[in-house]
């Protein structure tokens, strides 16, 4: 995938996902990939949790973990703690993780 238009990138020991989080939603879900006006792509995610005291971030970690079939301990928000746009690191084999995340954009 093109680096600018990809919603993830390989890093040492895993992947980093670029996510746009919508808290206080009616359901917890990953809703595919969206491209912003600046050409950057991000994974759209919704959680029911409110954005207070890290609750929405914790819900996002659990959602990403369950969606990709990895333990929650392998998922970490590395930037964007208080923003809608976040970078989420998923630790593990980059090749198998990449295969899993490709299915999210379909």
**Reduced to 3 states, what is the DSSP secondary structure of residue 6?**
coil
* 60 lies in some domain: yes
32-49: pLDDT as tens digits: 999 988 889 999 999 999
Residue 74 sits in a domain whose CATH number is 3.30.1200.10
Q: Residue 82's domain spans which residues?
A: 8-100
Please provide residue 97's backbone torsions phi and psi, each rounded to the nearest 5 degrees.
-65, -40
Q: How far is CA 50 from CA 38, 56, 73, 92, 93, in A?
A: 28, 5, 21, 29, 32
78-100: pLDDT as tens digits: 999 999 999 999 999 999 999 99
C-alpha–C-alpha distance, residues 57 and 40, integer Å: 21
pTM to 2 decimal places: 0.91
């Amino acid at each position: 995938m093109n680096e600018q238009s990809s919603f993830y990138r390989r890093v040492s020991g895993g992947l980093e996902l670029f996510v746009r989080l919508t808290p206080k939603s009616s359901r917890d879900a990953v809703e595919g990939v969206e491209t912003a006006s600046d050409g950057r792509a991000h994974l759209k995610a919704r959680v029911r949790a409110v954005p207070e005291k890290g609750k929405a971030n914790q819900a996002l970690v659990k959602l990403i973990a369950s969606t990709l079939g990895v333990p929650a301990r392998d998922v970490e928000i590395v930037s964007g703690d208080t923003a809608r746009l976040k970078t989420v690191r998923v630790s593990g084999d980059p090749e198998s993780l990449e295969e899993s995340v490709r299915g999210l954009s379909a």
